[in-house]
Structure 1
């Protein structure tokens, strides 16, 4: 499931305020819970603050399904997260993970197995990104071929 693969890492981790303050300033996103917004405004008093906050406020240091419970309660940190619950196409999945931690764990395990079966591009076929969510622009082309196709490296992988 794509939701598990792309969002389950949010159960543990930090986010910079600048990644979500557009939901707070100049006007609060109406899909955000008011108490969460007030807490976040205390941590991030301006749109350009350098502070950070936990991505999962309920269990910040524990791998759990609380991220999905937060989405059901309109407490998603990012717009893209909250949209998972707001969108009728994915709402039932979010709700089922919020209601059943064992289901979430089982689906996470299956997703990790699937991700482990992906073919990773290496050498000149791959790209080391400066920002993992955006393809490199020409001014970051020095990152594209950081891994060389030399025989010694290939033999170490065998």
Structure 2
């Protein structure tokens, strides 16, 4: 994936200037914060996608594999996966379908709840999850693009935002 050519000016700073000029100065910082956060999410997702694409993974499927990898038995009920990853059940079904088709996950009946289905990571899934993690650690997580102390500051700020939103 070719890196896009940088813009000559910061479009969010320019939007902030217009926001202020049009009488919305009291909320211009908030607009810039939200817009910056959304743009940063796009940048990070593009970096992650570039790493995961050769492994035929999306970030959602990677997260599902890692959740199963970290689970005690390598298997979880589908509803618990949805709850832990905070996504709609339909999205979990789709992700499990894709991973199952690739031999990375298998569905099993729950041993004590006939209504529930478990998703279980396979050896192929474990190998893929570990390979993806190694690549992500090397190319994205080791250097997310923030200076000294910036990563911890960002984590703390986003934790505050998520807490205030009732995320946990």
Specify the TM-score bucket, using the shorter chain as the normaliser: 0.3 to 0.5
**Which structure carries more relative contact order (alpha carbon 8 Å, separation 6+)?**
1
Scaled by the length of structure 1, the TM-score of the pair is 0.37
Structure 1 or 2: more helix by fraction: 2
Structure of greater Rg:
2
Scaled by the length of structure 2, the TM-score of the pair is 0.35
